């Protein structure tokens, strides 16, 4: 059992932060990896990105949005409660060597897993610029955390309630035009990551994405998380989750997500409509 040491409402009404005791996971985990949790004996397995790692305290941080059965059950847990299973760390760590200037592009939940990634890049000697996008100020998360590990933070909101009015690629293109970058790392909804890759390609900037494919076992056995990268079939859980964004078959990934989850289809269609995309 893994004790919940801290819980807080991160974004009302349904986004929660959890700090969980998992000393064996924390001792091995690196930025960019994930865990699979099971709340109780009859619970389903769900993958969650690591939003914080503290080996000295033996803890990991997780961000959860209550949108389904299991995430709803987890949101109902309180400090002092416990999670039955925390399996990990899974996936390959992000390569966070000194990469010169790194731009981190995060949308929605993608901002949270970018925090340990940005921290690791900074500790390796990289210059870090964070670009954060949301529909409105109330939907931004991890702003203070990202400011703590970034040389510069750029915020975009659809309604202009915080930072620049526009979408994340507006700020990204402006930064690339002004001073370039050596690497761009994007985490967020698939349409947003695709848009980031389309924006960076004309600049010839290496662009890494963390793919959020449908995942079941997380160890390469089920094949549910298969993605097409550079004309080859890869498994996001064991070959990723990080891939060269310019080689990803985004249409295939997005269509597979739409097959499995109605809300993903609705989210994608709403995202395209909101940004006047075909």
pLDDT at residue 267 is higher than 60? no
Instruction: Report residue 190 as tokens.
Output: 């698939």
Q: Give the helix ranges, DSSP H, for 105-261.
A: 111-123, 143-149, 168-179, 190-200, 250-260
As given in the structure block, the two tokens for residue 259 are 């097959």
Determine what percent of the chain is predicted with pLDDT higher than 90: 76
Collapse the DSSP code of 130 into the 3-class scheme (helix H, G, I; strand E, B; otherwise coil) and give the result. Answer: strand
Distances 129 to 5, 146, 185, 200, 257 between C-alpha atoms, Å: 31, 9, 10, 15, 30
Q: Where are the domains of the chain?
A: 2-90, 101-274
Calculate the average pLDDT of the chain. 91
Q: Which fold has domain 2-90?
A: Elongation Factor Tu (Ef-tu); domain 3 (2.40.30)
Q: Do domains 2-90 and 101-274 have the same CATH topology?
A: no
By three-state DSSP, how is residue 152 classified? strand
Q: What is the mean pLDDT of residues 193-215?
A: 94
Q: CA-to-CA distance for 263 and 274, rounded, in angstroms?
A: 16
* pLDDT at residue 64 greater than cutoff 90: yes
DSSP for 70-123, please give it.
HHHHHHT--TT-EESEEEEEESPPP--S--SEEEEEEEGGGHHHHHHHHHHHHH
CATH fold of 101-274, please?
Rossmann fold (3.40.50)
pLDDT higher than threshold 80 for residue 16: yes
pLDDT band at 276 (very low <50, low <70, confident <90, very high): low
Tens of pLDDT along 136-174? 998 899 999 999 999 999 999 989 999 999 999 999 999
Q: Hey, CA dihedral for 107, 111, 117, 123, is it positive or negative?
A: positive
Q: Alpha-carbon distance 102 to 132, whole Å?
A: 14
pLDDT of 96 over the 80 cut? yes
Q: Residues 206, 211, 271, 246: is their CA dihedral positive or negative?
A: positive
Check whether 272 has a pLDDT greater than 70: no
pLDDT at residue 214 is higher than 70: yes
Q: Has residue 43 got a pLDDT over 60?
A: yes
Q: What is the pLDDT of residue 265?
A: 42
pLDDT level of residue 275 (50, 70, 90 thresholds)? low
- Give CA–CA dist 230/251, Å, rounded: 13
R_g (Cα) of the chain, nearest Å:
18
How much is the pLDDT for 255?
Answer: 86
Is pLDDT at 73 greater than 80 in this prediction?
Answer: yes
Residues 6+ apart with CB under 8 A from 214: 224, 225, 256, 257, 260, 261
């Amino acid at each position: 059992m893994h004790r919940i040491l801290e819980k807080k409402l991160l974004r009302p009404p349904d986004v929660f932060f959890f700090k969980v005791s998992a000393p064996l996971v924390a001792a091995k985990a690196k930025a960019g990896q994930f865990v699979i949790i099971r709340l109780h004996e009859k619970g389903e397995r769900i993958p969650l990105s690591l939003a914080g790692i503290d080996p000295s305290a033996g803890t990991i941080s997780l961000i959860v949005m209550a949108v389904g059965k299991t995430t709803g059950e987890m949101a109902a847990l309180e400090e002092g409660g416990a999670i039955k299973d925390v399996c990990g760390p899974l996936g390959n760590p992000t390569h966070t060597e000194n990469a010169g200037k790194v731009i981190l592009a995060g949308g929605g939940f993608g901002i949270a897993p970018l925090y340990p990634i940005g921290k690791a890049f900074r500790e390796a000697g990289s210059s870090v610029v964070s670009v954060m996008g949301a529909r409105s100020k109330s939907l931004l998360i991890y702003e203070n955390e990202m400011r703590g590990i970034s040389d510069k933070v750029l915020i975009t909101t659809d309604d202009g309630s915080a930072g620049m009015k526009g979408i994340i690629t507006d700020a990204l293109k402006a930064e690339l035009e002004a001073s370039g970058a050596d690497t761009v790392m994007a985490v967020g909804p698939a349409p947003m990551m695709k848009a980031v890759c389309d924006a960076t390609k004309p600049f010839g900037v290496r662009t890494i994405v963390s793919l959020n494919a449908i995942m079941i076992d997380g160890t390469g056995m089920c094949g549910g998380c298969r993605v097409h990268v550079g004309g080859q079939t890869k498994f996001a859980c064991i070959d990723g989750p990080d891939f060269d964004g310019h080689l990803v078959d985004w249409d295939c990934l997005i269509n597979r997500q739409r097959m499995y989850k109605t809300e993903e289809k609705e989210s994608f269609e709403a995202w395209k409509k909101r940004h006047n995309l075909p």
